[in-house]
Amino acid sequence: MSERLEPGDKAPAFTLADQNGEKVRLTDFKGRKLLVYWYPKALTPGCTTQSCEVRDAREDLSSLGVDVVGISPDAPAANEKFDAKHGLGFPLLSDEDHAVAEKYGVWGEKKLYGKAYMGIIRSAFLVDEKGRIEQAWYKVSPKNTVPNARKALGV
């Protein structure tokens, strides 16, 4: 796993395709806060829980000046199915070669049934209006992404 990001670090830039094939850049959110959460695989139970909780909190977050993006190694077509099935309504970005995940320190070794493999370490980041990491949560539980963000925002 690459270096972990800490509060005050510059958020690594990205330009990734969303579920509709549109390019989304970190710089698109300059002047607003951005909750960036990483999920391992669309349409799996934990990722569905995490994404639906973010969806349900999106209006509140937006009223606080916070936009949201989810990022996974899934192809845009898989993210489009995920969005359509659960009505997520926010950008789900594809990092198929996990290059951006490595910059955020969220690509690493995981274990399942005793077997080690490389994958996304479920994590979330609150990026401030100037593109710096305000908070970083590595190995976050699917149910804690939104509560952690609310706490960091003081709500």
Q: Which residues lie across from 35 on neighbouring strands? A: 68, 126
Residue 47 is among the residues annotated as catalytic for this protein:
yes
- Determine which one of 11, 16, 26, 47 is catalytic: 47
- Token pair, residue 127, equals 């990026």
> Shortest CA distance to 110 belongs to which of 38, 49, 5?
38
Let me know how long the chain is: 155
Determine contact, residues 26/132, Cβ cutoff 8 Å.
Answer: no
Q: Residue 42, class by beta-carbon neighbours within 10 Å (0-12 exposed, 13-18 middle, 19+ buried)?
A: buried
Other residues' Cβ atoms within 10 Å of the Cβ of residue 124: 25
- Token pair, residue 88, equals 């997520």
DSSP character for 42? T
Known catalytic residues are 47
